[in-house]
């Protein structure tokens, strides 16, 4: 299961698993029922060092690498994928650009308290008319003296309703194409920012929203890494994020398989456990095989990042396989449980709904097939 991980990473997995069961598990039922993300979770994760797994000790991190962060997401997702997503967005998407491209002042003001869990972050890229086609975003930032004025709308933003600050991607020069984008750190709340909460099918404990910027004025120092060239910065941010979210997908898949296997061993039908029937055992065997293959791909992509590589194809392979493994495994689990899995309140029912998230976020499965095909020269 641990795929010859180092002793340190195996010990870290156990630490992450213990944290998930001790700290996250007691919050799940209430958070899912209320469709709210408990803010105390960020403080607990920060105190445990889990919000800065990949960042250096100089800013309060652990310096453990992308593979460790992926394993953390995997273990948290086994307990609750929604809460795992909320933590992961604040510890990566909403903070990584500040660490990589921000100056010392920005890091001390935003990154350090975020890694402690004192504040929550969000990342604003997707818009109503621009998802996979990032170049089609319409949010604009116009320079006005010592300030930037931001106007536009972002949607499906995780943590939008609870964030203290948000990374916003906007065009500063639309005539320059992709090179004319910049990233800004925007404080929340703001009287000129309207946040609308959105309901969704799964990940109920992870809050998302639509964020409208109506001439929001931010100081020049809010710009991250220059007023142009953010496209490459966004792609680097998303690349690592895709590996980490894939950890959540394989965690979701594995939890569904393990629950279904236990149920198949215990549930009798026609005088024997249903797991003795090949109609049950073979689909579970296939789901296990697909999940194990996906895990290998995900860990490989994470390891390549830790070797200072830029594994574009490997990231897309990992994300595609992991997302599809989550869909397949949770579908099998629901079928194994039958009516007991279909009723609300069953964990496999929640896993089934949560799994639908993975082929959509951080690049759809179709987009990743397109990336893989392009790397094949097609």
Cα(50)–Cα(65) distance, integer angstroms: 12
Tell me whether residue 362 is one of the annotated catalytic residues: yes
Cβ–Cβ under 8 Å, residues 334 and 342: yes
**Active-site position among 75, 207, 288, 362:** 362
Give CB contacts under 8 A, 24+ apart, made by 47-53.
47/116, 47/117, 48/19, 48/23, 50/16, 50/19, 50/87, 50/91, 51/87, 51/90, 51/91, 51/114, 51/115, 51/116, 51/117, 52/91, 52/115, 53/91
Cα(250)–Cα(194) distance, integer angstroms: 35
Question: Across the chain, where does the E strand assignment appear?
Answer: 121-124, 140-144, 147-158, 165-171, 181-187, 193-198, 208-219, 223-224, 268-269, 272-273
Q: How would you classify the pairing of strands 208-219 and 181-187?
A: unpaired
Cβ–Cβ under 8 Å, residues 94 and 163: yes
**Dihedral of the CA atoms 152, 201, 368, 347 (nearest 10)?**
140
Q: Which residues contact 324 (CB under 8 A, 6 or more apart)?
A: 290, 294, 359, 365
Cα(126)–Cα(155) distance, integer angstroms: 6
Cα(158)–Cα(286) distance, integer angstroms: 32
Cα(315)–Cα(299) distance, integer angstroms: 10
Residues catalogued as catalytic:
362
């Amino acid at each position: 299961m641990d795929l010859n991980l180092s002793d340190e990473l195996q010990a870290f997995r156990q630490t992450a698993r213990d944290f998930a069961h001790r700290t996250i598990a007691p919050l799940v039922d209430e958070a899912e029922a209320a469709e709210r993300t408990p803010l105390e979770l960020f403080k607990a994760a920060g105190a445990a060092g889990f919000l800065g797994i990949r960042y250096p000790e100089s800013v309060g991190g652990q310096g453990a690498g992308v593979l460790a962060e992926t394993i953390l997401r995997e273990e948290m997702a086994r307990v609750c994928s929604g809460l795992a997503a909320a933590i992961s967005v604040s510890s990566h998407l909403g903070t990584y650009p500040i660490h990589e491209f921000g100056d010392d002042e920005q890091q001390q003001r935003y990154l350090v308290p975020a890694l402690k869990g004192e504040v929550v972050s969000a990342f604003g890229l997707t818009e109503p008319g621009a998802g996979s086609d990032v170049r089609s975003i319409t949010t604009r930032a116009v320079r006005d003296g010592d300030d930037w004025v931001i106007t536009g709308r972002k949607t499906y933003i995780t943590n939008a309703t609870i964030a203290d600050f948000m990374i916003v991607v906007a065009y500063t020069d639309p005539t320059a194409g992709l090179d004319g984008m910049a990233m800004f750190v925007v404080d929340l709340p703001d009287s000129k920012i309207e946040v609308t909460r959105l309901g969704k099918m799964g990940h109920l404990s992870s809050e998302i929203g639509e964020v409208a910027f109506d001439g929001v004025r931010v100081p020049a120092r809010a710009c991250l890494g220059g007023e142009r060239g953010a496209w490459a910065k966004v792609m680097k941010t998303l690349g690592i994020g895709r590996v980490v979210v894939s950890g959540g997908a394989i965690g979701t898949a594995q939890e569904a398989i393990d629950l279904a296997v236990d149920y198949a061993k215990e549930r009798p039908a026609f005088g024997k456990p249903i797991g003795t029937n090949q109609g049950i055992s073979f689909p579970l065997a296939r789901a296990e095989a697909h999940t194990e293959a996906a895990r290998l791909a995900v860990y490989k992509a994470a390891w390549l990042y830790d070797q200072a590589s830029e594994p574009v194809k490997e990231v897309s392979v990992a994300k595609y396989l992991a997302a599809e493994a989550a869909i397949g495994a949770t579908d099998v689990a629901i079928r194994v449980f039958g009516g007991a899995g279909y009723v609300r309140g069953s964990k496999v029912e929640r896993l089934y709904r949560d799994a639908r998230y993975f082929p959509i976020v951080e690049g759809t499965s179709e987009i990743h097939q397109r990336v893989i095909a392009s790397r094949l020269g097609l």
